[in-house]
Structure 1
């Protein structure tokens, strides 16, 4: 089975970031180049995983983050 993700280095890892669409702020935990397809046709995206102060994490496209 082929890998469906790959970790990507990023200058803002472990730094406070903001998700621009939602305004949520937290720590950038990882950037992952991930196959997000559920149809069998590959579709790759760089996803940012952000941990909120509550401890809950969410993902967004890397283009949506900026330093907080």
Structure 2
């Protein structure tokens, strides 16, 4: 991958979800594989973007997302 991110399909997109560690809830807006490295060595992670009731988005690991 030459880009710094790539969108991924997910069965819970546009559905209400919960971030297991924080208990925060919102709508799953996107799942993105991102290169989070600041060095020349690539480090790719899958992040879930969740929009809470106030409209603010936060990220968490995709593995931390469950239906709410």
TM-score class normalised by the smaller sequence: over 0.9
- Per the normalisation by structure 2, the TM-score is 0.94
C-alpha deviations, 1:19-47, integer Å up to 9, x for none?
00000000000000110112221100110
Aligned length: 67
Instruction: Show the counterpart of 2:43.
Output: 43
- Per the normalisation by structure 1, the TM-score is 0.94
State the distance in 2 between where 1:40 and 1:53 align: 38
Which consecutive segments of 4 or more residues in structure 1 shift more than 6 A?
none
Deviation (angstroms), 1:5: 0.3
| Structure 1: unaligned runs, 5 residues or longer | none
| Structure 2: unaligned runs, 5 residues or longer | none
